[in-house]
Amino acid sequence: MPELKSIGLFARFLTLWVFVAIVAGIALGALMPEFFQMIGSIELAHINLPVAMLVWVMILPMLLKIDFTSLHEVWNQRRGIAVTLGVNWLFKPFFMALLGYISVYHLFASFLDARMLDGYFAGLVILAAAPCTAMVFVWSKLTQGDAQFTLSQVALNDVVMVFAFAPIVALLLGFASVTVPWDTLLLSVLLYILAPVLVAYGWRKHLLKQGALDVVLQRLDPLSMAALLLTVVLLFAFQGQEILQQPLVIAILAVPIVIQVYTTFGLAYLLNRKLGVQHNVAAPSALIGASNFFELAVATAIALFGFESGAALATVVGVLVEVPVMLTLVSIVNRSRGWYEKGLK
């Protein structure tokens, strides 16, 4: 059974590093606005090329950890798999769309710039439509989750994401009458999901034959985190002035994200218990269901709506919220183990 690696320094203190990157981004954006405007203009078919490169550096090491050949073992954990897939694709994006619509267009609309409402809503939807494929390895490790189940579920999620991400995003944004550039969305799926998955699959196969997978992953992991933080720096170099002028925006956007995470987790955790799923499978199942692939969400929001959009800002708030909220869920999972297992008897 594959072993989940120890949590690195960056992963442990991701919230701190993200905060430092935000401060650095705001400061650099104020000092060198022309430089960052130039970076934002380097694009092809509305895809920002510097961000595209950073996203590849971010997600390739994560995808290399996934054993796609483990998909044949999915049937052995079909109940936990079914719960996660159902929550990820049939509940979470639609629930977030409801929360986002109520929060952005009604509940908090008077506190937000009316020109940015569609962007904020779009960012929330994009965030919820991208299930986690990376940090979930950390959450599973912290809850003593079944490693093989985690790998199988992540591999299956990536396969489903290739086909489901774009249609769900387009459907939900169309519901709110947000114009979706289909060519850019499909190109984003190709560039940020399909191509990296295929490259990672072939590269992993080659590295396993050479016995070099662990060595390569150790070298790439720091680069992956550095790319994430550099992306945050770029985002806030563009968004910083608006954030300083409207400090409530971050808190407002965090509200539906936090509600969605806790609700999705609770639903998945209780469904697993009801179905008699063992705790070491239910834990990663519920945590995978609750967390988001924020690297993909940030990249897609930028590709569709631009660096300075409300969509890009909303997905960055997802980065801020993800780690501290998920750590509270890890604590809930560990503290409730006795209660959960008692219900299985």
Average pLDDT over every residue of 36-59 = 76
Distance CA 284, CA 190 (A): 27
Question: pLDDT-based confidence at 319, cuts 50/70/90?
Answer: confident
Question: Does residue 133 surpass a pLDDT of 70?
Answer: no
> Assign residue 183 a region: left if phi > 0, alpha if psi is -120 to 50, beta otherwise?
alpha
pLDDT at position 326, please? 86
Closest to 278 (Cα-Cα) out of 153, 154, 145: 145
CA distances from 64 to 205, 222, 296 (A): 9, 14, 16
Residue 320 β-bridge partners: none
CA distances from 56 to 207, 237, 295 (A): 18, 21, 10
pLDDT in tens, 242-286: 667 767 888 999 999 999 999 999 999 999 999 999 999 999 999
Q: Quick one: what percent of the chain has pLDDT higher than 90? A: 27
Spatial contact of 297 and 106, defined as CB atoms under 8 Å apart: no
pLDDT at position 14, please? 66
pLDDT in tens, 5-44: 444 556 567 667 877 888 898 888 888 888 887 887 787 7
Spatial contact of 128 and 96, defined as CB atoms under 8 Å apart: yes
Burial of 44: CB neighbours in 10 Å, binned 0-12, 13-18, 19+: exposed
Structure tokens at 64: 């290399």
The residue behind tokens 């579920």 is: 153
List the end-to-end C-alpha distance of the chain, in Å, as a whole number. 27
The answer for residues whose C-beta is within 8 angstroms of residue 342's C-beta and 6 or more apart is none
The model's pTM: 0.75
- Average pLDDT along the chain: 82
Question: Does residue 179 surpass a pLDDT of 70?
Answer: no
Average pLDDT over every residue of 68-87 = 80
Neighbours of 306 (CB within 10 A): 17
Question: Does residue 114 surpass a pLDDT of 70?
Answer: yes
Spatial contact of 14 and 323, defined as CB atoms under 8 Å apart: yes
pLDDT at position 122, please? 92
Domain locations in the chain as residue ranges = 67-219+247-344
pLDDT at position 95, please? 96
Question: Does residue 127 surpass a pLDDT of 50?
Answer: yes
Assigned CATH for 67-219+247-344: 1.20.1530.20
pLDDT in tens, 321-337: 877 888 889 889 999 99
> Assign residue 46 a region: left if phi > 0, alpha if psi is -120 to 50, beta otherwise?
left
pLDDT in tens, 194-203: 788 889 889 9
Spatial contact of 111 and 147, defined as CB atoms under 8 Å apart: no
Distance CA 95, CA 290 (A): 12
Question: Does residue 138 surpass a pLDDT of 90?
Answer: no
Spatial contact of 111 and 245, defined as CB atoms under 8 Å apart: no
pLDDT at position 4, please? 40
pLDDT in tens, 205-247: 999 999 998 899 888 877 877 887 887 788 778 766 666 776 7
79 vs 69, more confident: 79
Largest CA distance in the chain: 64
Closest to 131 (Cα-Cα) out of 330, 331, 318, 274: 318
Distance CA 296, CA 69 (A): 23
Strand, coil or helix: what is 176? coil
